[in-house]
Structure 1
Amino acid sequence: MLGHFTLRHIPPLFVACSATFGGLWPLFNAKAAMLEFGFPTHIANSPPTYPVMITQSIRTSALGLIMLTFYSQQKLAEVDTVMAIMGTYLGVADSYALWADSRGKAVFQLISGLLIGAWGLAGLTKGL
């Protein structure tokens, strides 16, 4: 897996691992994960919301696993494609969902998502 590693692979591997393992957190503590994500306390304190957080986070974890799988197969253009879509689309969607209650987290989600998306759109994992 690491035979083709270069320094430009650090950001996508960080994103992939963060998505994979961070997406598992709600399985163990949905309330804390919701608060860290940026949801207000009145939502995070509502147990009926936990299955929604868990299912959406598991989907994020699956995207991380897809990235790690493509990376292990040396399909670096595919890693960039996942980063472009995941970063841009989820960054915008997450910031929109958080804007009313947590502007700071919304801005963070937007900026980090757009940076991840830009990396993928530029094809920086694959390189020239």
Structure 2
Amino acid sequence: MTRDASAIVDSYIAALQGEARRVAPGEWGLTVDAAGWPLHVGVAIRDGLLRAQGEVVGAGRLPPETLLRWNRGLPLVRFTHTSAGAVWVEGDLPLAAVSPDRLDRFLGLLVRVATQAREAAAG
């Protein structure tokens, strides 16, 4: 299934307009606009999952309590923060679930919640 998922992601990334690239076998990067500035998203196949992540905002921009509340209502993706306080959005999709449509919904959700978080941080 890893090979099938990799081929699906390769095709999806290649069809995107804008900045998208294959970094290494099973790893990709894409950059999209999210609330007026670039969101750099890393996508990789790891441990039977398609994983995606991107930094949303720097330290001190969103309260941890807000992130916890948002996480309770989100499928597939979640907010995390580094020890320095930077907020990231991360998501996992089982390789068996990877299809062109599901991949589009998964990455779309990741970008949408990152955008909403950036808008909330801007006030």
TM-score relative to the length of structure 1 = 0.36
Between Structure 1 and Structure 2, the one with more strand by share is 2
Max radius of gyration: which structure? 1
Higher relative contact order (CA closer than 8 Å, sequence separation 6+): 1
TM-score relative to the length of structure 2 = 0.37
